[in-house]
Amino acid sequence: MNRFDFAIKSFFTAVKNRKTKQKMIIFRYDKTFAGLLTAVFDAYNRRTFPDRLLNEEELEPLFTDECYTVITDETKSDRVWQGLRKKLMTVSCNMLRYVWLSELPGSDELIFRYIRKAFDNKHSIEMNFTDDDVFKMRNLAKKVDKECMRLIELVRFQKAADDIFFATVSPDHNSLPLIIAHFTDRFADQKWIIYDIKRNYGYYYDLKTVTEMTLDSSDLFPEGKLDEKLMAADEKLFQELWKGYFKSITIKERINLKLQRQHLPERYWKYLTEKQ
């Protein structure tokens, strides 16, 4: 949905609310998950529920009657989270995190409505897929989960001169936090960095702990690959050997690029040594 369509939708929603004599209530928060849970706590405490969730910079819709600023509070967010753990199965609590990390417009409002329905209903809503919000939550979480599986399969490490293995990703969703546990278990015997160049942050594993990190310069990974000047002496050789092997087992008569793109979206190709 572009900005014009979004503005039109907000306008007609506001007009509809005016006609039915409903107040247009806006909550502003810091766009963190803890902030969203705090907003849920404050809404129940105030007994007023927002029509829209905005950050500090976003403009208020027309005909706004009340605007409330949420102050993120870890105690409040923890209480809401513990309440959700009692109402929902573990898989559904994880689903909330997946939808949050999708970073799609309106995903926070979708989560807010889902949480409210979970608290307000005596019976579980988790399998009620006739409910539009429940259906959307499941489908969006599945999209994020599918991207996580692709990242796990397609992350390619390059060995740097300091013996740290480096990999870059740029997923559509903020999926990196969801796959770190896999790599910690899978590559527990070597130091590595997986870096999201789209969001400019990553994780460093030092054989003991995983630490979130950011890099100051994007010159370290031109075109999504580690700069050759920073590679280990034998890294380039291993890459050439791998490309040679990949080429040798390829049957030219059976190349089907359309099928390749279907199973392996082209946006991932730039990170694959064999596709260079």
Interhelix angle 176-186/90-101, rounded to 10 degrees, is: 120
pLDDT digits (tens, 9 = 90+) for 26-66: 999 999 999 999 999 999 999 999 999 999 888 888 788 88
Query: 3-state DSSP call for residue 257?
Result: helix
In this prediction the pTM is 0.81
Specify the residue for token string 């870096």: 195
pLDDT in tens, 195-250: 998 999 999 999 999 999 998 766 666 666 777 777 777 878 777 888 888 888 88
Instruction: Please state, rounded to an integer, the average pLDDT across all residues of the chain.
Output: 87
Which two structure tokens, joined as six digits, stand for 243? 């490309």
H or E stretch at 165: strand 165-169
Average pLDDT over residues 166-172: 91
Residue pLDDT, tens place only, 93-127: 999 999 999 999 999 999 999 999 999 998 999 99
| Structural contact between residues 159 and 235, judged by C-beta atoms closer than 8 angstroms | yes
The token pair at 138 is 């499941």
Position 141 pLDDT exceeds 90: yes
Sheet strands side by side (includes 52-54): 52-54, 25-28, 66-69
Both tokens of 163, joined, read: 């013996």
Phi, psi of 168 (to 5 degrees): -115, 150
